[in-house]
Structure 1
Amino acid sequence: MLGDTVASIMVTYNPDSDVVENAKSIVQSCAKLIIIDNGSNPDSKVYLQELEKEQKTTIIWNKENVGLGRALNQGIQFILNAEELRHVKWIATFDQDSTVQADYFEKMLQSYESFSEKEAVAILAPSWIEQKLETDGALPGKQNLELQEQRTVITSGSLMKKVAFQKIGFFEEDYFIDFLDHELCLRARSHGYKIFIVPQVTMLHNLGNTQEHALLGSRVKATNHNYIRRYYITRNRLYTYKKYFRTEQEWIKEDFIATAKEFIIILLFEQNRLKKLGSMTRGVWDALRGKKGAL
């Protein structure tokens, strides 16, 4: 089975009971699941200890929240060093609130196997559905479509070639959280790799606490990220712009326009606006003075 060539990583931080079923949905069809827990509270650890009994699951327990980047890198390093996983060709990354169907990895890799430019591919990602906005529980994957090239994709649900990590390096730990995925994708592109979405494969995912609102006859989405996340998103976005300004100007332009629209949505629909604007301002200031790491 193609899924046997995949090892998965899930980073957890104070998860609820859903993490048990989410993790089981992933591990059922891949070679191994590595869970890196970032210092969860005792109640959440009970759910993780249940998962630790699963035969193909290993948990790495961090005493504190070391950040998403470092936790993902712990998982990658475990996979690279594990003798039992030498055969693994792909490393999949997941958030604690992501769930997949039983044939997820099989479908993802079937699309890759039928692709003519395999050597160019670094990352495969699904079409993701916002779980909190999904009402009927269906996952309507599109059929018989070729891989669709993207500049960047989100971390959760993505498969990256093990050899690509070995060539371009791991996640940017100094970002702590947010924009790690965009930076890694752009770095892969700078090494000549390409990133693709597999349109016929879908995944449920929660991006913040998303809510839909009506605006000028259209429906817009407010993610409702808290003020701390707004700090990291703003700061790390600017670092990424600076790093790839010469090579990814079109992506920066598109992201900047999307950011401007998101800023308007925050002002119109989200709570704690002043606190979020203060955090975003601090993110700009810290980016200008070169501060990275945890807030």
Structure 2
Amino acid sequence: MSSNGNRAIAVAAVVSSFNPGPELIRNVQALMEQVDRVTVVDDGSTRDIAAVLDGLKATGAGVVRLERNSGIAAALNAGIRAELTEGDVAWIMTMDQDSRLGPDYVERALKTAASSKSPDSVGMVSAESHNGARVKGYAGTDPDEPEVFDPMQSGSLVRAAAIHRAGLLDEDLFIDCVDSEFNARLRSHGYRLLAGQGCDLLHSLGESRPMRILGWHATIGPKKLSIYYHAPFRVYYISRNILVLAKRYVRTQPRWVAQRLFLEVESHVIRFIYGPRRRKHLVAFLSGTRDGILNRLGRIGPELEKRLR
């Protein structure tokens, strides 16, 4: 990382972490080769991570610690605020602790924005692919500069001016759909969300489980199918927050909301038919749906959280 003082810099990165291992140090070192400055925010880790934090500081990264687990929105916001107060930053990149950038990722992303027909309207540049698989495009946008349907926050560069105008991430959502809500909000302020040409994000896909039908492992040809597993408490947030998001944007972005709801319903169907712990997932889904309708936000209640463990 270069020493920038208060002078203008191109890209500052914010990395959210929770109970990180030493691999985070390696990820941050690699990240610092592509950006000007890095801030790591520890979201109230429950393990002893003193050695990891010392290693991060030794790399030159800034470190912010939250006293309690406050959710990814609050963690990223803390880092974004810290970066914006450090000096004149043009772009803020947000990253998960287990994400890594492909070669020349940041350079390619900035080039994509700068070469756009309307550079000032580009509010975000995200990955074009995850682990080599192309991300979903948003039909109906400019075919010459197609937008990304729903960019994941990890690996996304957001124009600092867009943050000042549209605001920070919604901390009331806690986790899940935080990036989707922010994406919709950027669009509501007239910004476009482009894919960085040639930008590949290396990202952990989470825990997968075999897709079974009455004990048979489902296959397509020689390929055995799997589903990606979310713990029941995550299903609560997903079910709640997708309804909150839909209510906010169905009038202004009905097509996007309809597509987003369809994808979530599809995931729930697969989860309830093929996934493990279906009873707890159903409780999580019904509780999240109820709270979404009633607009009860924030962290999941302790009794329900205990029930879903």
- For the Cα contact (< 8 Å) 1:236–1:287, is it kept in 2? yes
- For the Cα contact (< 8 Å) 1:146–1:199, is it kept in 2? no
- Whether 1:116 and 2:117 are equivalent positions in the alignment is yes
Which of the residues 13, 16, 27 maps onto 1:8? 13
Which of the residues 259, 272, 278 maps onto 1:273? 278
Which of the residues 212, 229, 246 maps onto 2:251? 246
- For the Cα contact (< 8 Å) 2:105–2:198, is it kept in 1? no
- Letter aligned with residue 177 of structure 2: F
Compute the displacement of 1:141 (Å): 8.5
- For the Cα contact (< 8 Å) 1:230–1:276, is it kept in 2? yes
Q: Cα deviations across residues 62-106 of structure 1 (Å, max 9, x unaligned)?
A: 121111111111111111111xx32x2000000111011352211
- Letter aligned with residue 38 of structure 2: L
Compute the displacement of 1:151 (Å): 3.8
Compute the displacement of 1:221 (Å): 5.4
Q: CA RMSD in A?
A: 2.4
Q: What residue is the counterpart of 1:61 in the other structure?
A: 65
- Whether 1:79 and 2:83 are equivalent positions in the alignment is yes
Distance 1:128 1:274, change over 3 A: farther
- Output the CA distance in 1 between the equivalents of 2:286 and 2:134: 40
- Output the CA distance in 2 between the equivalents of 1:32 and 1:81: 13
- Output the CA distance in 2 between the equivalents of 1:118 and 1:265: 40
- Output the CA distance in 1 between the equivalents of 2:117 and 2:50: 44
- For the Cα contact (< 8 Å) 2:209–2:275, is it kept in 1? no
- Whether 1:292 and 2:285 are equivalent positions in the alignment is no
Q: What residue is the counterpart of 2:107 in the other structure?
A: 106
- For the Cα contact (< 8 Å) 1:171–1:180, is it kept in 2? yes
Which of the residues 235, 238, 242 maps onto 1:233? 238
- For the Cα contact (< 8 Å) 1:146–1:198, is it kept in 2? no
Q: Cα deviations across residues 216-265 of structure 1 (Å, max 9, x unaligned)?
A: 66876522011111111111100000000101111122122212221222
Q: What residue is the counterpart of 2:305 in the other structure?
A: none
Larger Rg: 2
Compute the displacement of 1:210 (Å): 3.7
Q: What residue is the counterpart of 2:201 in the other structure?
A: 203
Distance 1:146 1:105, change over 3 A: farther
Q: What residue is the counterpart of 2:229 in the other structure?
A: 224
- Output the CA distance in 1 between the equivalents of 2:17 and 2:62: 13
- Which structure has more relative contact order (CA 8 Å, sep 6+)? It is 1
Instruction: Give the aligned length.
Output: 279
- Output the CA distance in 2 between the equivalents of 1:244 and 1:152: 14
- For the Cα contact (< 8 Å) 1:141–1:199, is it kept in 2? no
- For the Cα contact (< 8 Å) 1:8–1:94, is it kept in 2? yes
Aligned-partner SS, 2:68: coil
- Letter aligned with residue 79 of structure 1: E
Q: What residue is the counterpart of 1:257 in the other structure?
A: 262
- For the Cα contact (< 8 Å) 1:8–1:30, is it kept in 2? yes
- Output the CA distance in 2 between the equivalents of 1:111 and 1:290: 38
Compute the displacement of 1:215 (Å): 5.8
- In the alignment, structure 2 segments of 5+ residues that lack a partner are 3-8, 136-142, 212-217, 301-309
- For the Cα contact (< 8 Å) 1:148–1:198, is it kept in 2? no
- Output the CA distance in 2 between the equivalents of 1:200 and 1:187: 26
Compute the displacement of 1:209 (Å): 1.6
- Whether 1:46 and 2:51 are equivalent positions in the alignment is yes
Q: What residue is the counterpart of 1:193 in the other structure?
A: 191
- Output the CA distance in 2 between the equivalents of 1:81 and 1:278: 43
- Whether 1:29 and 2:30 are equivalent positions in the alignment is no
> Which range is displaced more, 187-196 or 200-209?
200-209
- Output the CA distance in 2 between the equivalents of 1:219 and 1:116: 44
Q: What residue is the counterpart of 1:125 in the other structure?
A: 126
